A and B are shown apart, each in its own frame.
Chain A
């Protein structure tokens, strides 16, 4: 399996005045295409920082990050934006949908920034909404939808541009257990049926149980990296 994500001695240091905090400390690991991985750890363990760098939202202080073989650790702001647009889909804990905007328009957002013509934009977005099981809700305003539905819209937005990776930061943090499991089911389908690499950041073992690999962070370092027999949930 070719390594989709390959990090080498990835280090991130935050400086707050005189104090410097090492959020990531020489992290070297690789994640292959079509893997379904959970990144775990307590808050402050460095998992969110790692996730931001993987998502090209942030750049490492030192070390290398190879995405599909290309070193992206020193790209410009503009190039990083393009990578986020074309190759990465984000799902956040707080859904992060645009308010007063329909589900369809929220899903279309990444396509707008990659200059896809309106007609094609609409077609692809409807397709993505169908995949997450929201057909018929495309014209609902985002704030008229339930939490689970909002997160489905966010997932549709993440996958609409056919990315190779979907990064989800505590995607079930605001949802009840039943809905959480439903959402994890969606991720599992994206991984198994569509071959998308899915990386979930979570601190809940229940949620991590859906994935095939657990990477555990503590104090900016990887302390555990093991395979997992996924739970077959609802």
Chain B
């Protein structure tokens, strides 16, 4: 039988029982809308978390000193620094996938202003650090290249330090003494709050790396740094970046093949992967709950189609008597349930999109709608229609024409 004719027959049959068709579709509508909304919420949350982690630095690598052996005494990694400022410069110059590096050297020192004092971590670094971490200033400016080179006596303060030393006074241009060394405050960092580990990220002072090395804390070898922060150009080339750095430092540190390295390269992508896996699980959970409602909708379709087949037994008998093949009857009822589920699917998608938009507008929970998710929900509703429509349709097709004609 021609599809267009079957389609018209199906539509007429559904129109004949408008209320019933609508109620049957309601199951599918709710199911599809639920899938669309749940997937939108799940992927929205996942995208937000990914963005947050990326802002911390998913494309961040940290080069730390490794375990060293000196005269038979093995020292744990980080005990003795093996990285230098020259290593940092070599990395940024020789590794093509590296965007920025920021060497770090620092310690804890007391800062004094007027009659106030405050002990805190003083970190020596370069201005690349602020670009890598995406930190901004509320006042003043970052270090200049000259200041970094010349070990200038300048400092950037975190908000907590400002509060403790200055109170209401504007700190810019004032002189604080750090480890008794007078330093000019050139900027105040924007408030960042607590770190994931609970540290107050605003309780910190930043000075040029050379200042930290030469004037504040000293190094037992010239140019030593504690760690080197490296920003890769792209989070997709992390492995390549890591290899470039390792190869370069192997060469610079004269590490023979098979020997222990005196440095190691770490990255944050594992944290990102863990968070993404967690959100994937959540999306899957939400999705499967929604899927269950879609299946319940499908059972509704099956139920109504069975009722419809029984009600229209005589019609089926007439069609068979005038020469309808079993396949014609099967097709007719399958198309009917398919129309039910597809129309339900379309309405469900529209409802789901509207619902997701409303949720996005009312809360600041992010929603992300992908056409793949819509397509999936739609395809699933079609599958539900065929799957749950098949049994009633088969039942209709296998009716005995004589019994069907006699059916009252």
A106 to chain B, nearest CB (A): 9
Q: Is A100 part of the contact surface with B, judged by Cβ < 8 Å?
A: yes
Q: Which residues from chain A contact B12 at a C-beta distance below 8 Å? A: 100-101
Nearest residue, chain A, Cβ from B4: A118
- Interface-central residue, A55, A84, A157, by most chain B CB under 10 Å: A84
Cα(A112)–Cα(B405), bound, Å: 19
In the complex the two chains form, is A109's CB within 8 Å of B322's CB? yes
- Taking CB atoms, residues of chain A closer than 8 Å to B2 are 112, 115
Residues of B within 8 A of A81 (CB): 320, 323-326
Q: Which of A57, A113, A115 contacts B402 (CB 8 A)?
A: A57
- A96 cross-chain contacts in B, Cβ below 8 A: 314, 317-318, 321, 405
Chain B residues within an 8 Å CB radius of A86: 323
Choose from A58, A78, A90 the contact partner of B322 (Cβ within 8 Å): A90
Q: Decide yes or no: A109 and B402 within 8 Å by CB, A77-B326, A78-B325, A78-B326 being known contacts.
A: no
**Cβ–Cβ < 8 Å partners of A92 in chain B:** 405
Contact A114–B321 (Cβ < 8 Å): no
Convert B90-106 into 0s and 1s, putting 1 for each residue whose CB lies closer than 8 angstroms to a CB of A.
00000000000000000
- A89: nearest residue on chain B (CB-CB)? B322
A110 to B321, CA, bound (A): 9
Nearest CB in chain B to that of A48: its residue: B402
The number of residues on chain B lying at the interface, defined by a beta carbon within 8 Å of a beta carbon of chain A, is 21
Are A85 and B318 in touch, CB under 8 angstroms?
no
Q: For the complex, is B259 an interface residue (Cβ under 8 Å from A)?
A: no
Contacts of A114 in B (CB 8 A): 323
Inter-chain contacts of A77 with B (CB < 8 A) = 326
The reply to whether the CB of A98 lies closer than 8 angstroms to some CB of chain B is yes
Interface band, chain A: 20 to 34
User: Using Cβ atoms and an 8 Å threshold, which residues of chain B touch A192?
Assistant: none
How far apart are A173's CB and chain B's nearest CB, in angstroms? 14
Residue B234 CB within 8 A of the other chain: no
Q: Which residues of A contact B322 (CB under 8 A)?
A: 84-85, 90, 109-110, 113, 157
**Quick check: is A45 within 8 A (CB to CB) of the other chain?**
no
B402 contacts A52, C-beta separation under 8 Å = yes
Is the CB of A43 closer than 8 A to any CB of chain B?
A: no
A74-95 vs B, Cβ < 8 Å mask (1 yes, 0 no): 0001100110111000101000
Contact with A along B282-296 (1 / 0, CB 8 A): 000000000000000
* Residue with the greatest number of chain A CB neighbours at <10 A, chosen from B320, B321, B401: B321
**Complex contact B319–A109 (CB within 8 A):** yes
Chain A residues near B319: list those with CB within 8 A.
109, 113
B328 interface hit (Cβ, 8 Å): yes
Leading 3 A-B pairs by shortest Cβ distance:
A85-B323, A110-B322, A113-B323
Instruction: Identify the A interface with B (CB < 8 A).
Output: 52, 55, 57-58, 77-78, 81-82, 84-86, 90, 92, 96-101, 109-110, 112-115, 157, 161
Q: Can you give 18 A-B contacts (C-beta < 8 A)? A: A52-B402, A57-B402, A81-B324, A81-B326, A84-B322, A85-B323, A85-B324, A96-B405, A98-B315, A98-B318, A99-B315, A109-B318, A109-B319, A110-B322, A110-B323, A112-B1, A113-B319, A157-B322
Q: A78-B326, A84-B322, A85-B322 given. 16 additional CB < 8 A pairs? A: A57-B402, A58-B402, A78-B325, A82-B325, A90-B321, A92-B405, A96-B317, A96-B321, A98-B315, A100-B12, A110-B322, A113-B1, A113-B319, A113-B322, A113-B324, A114-B323
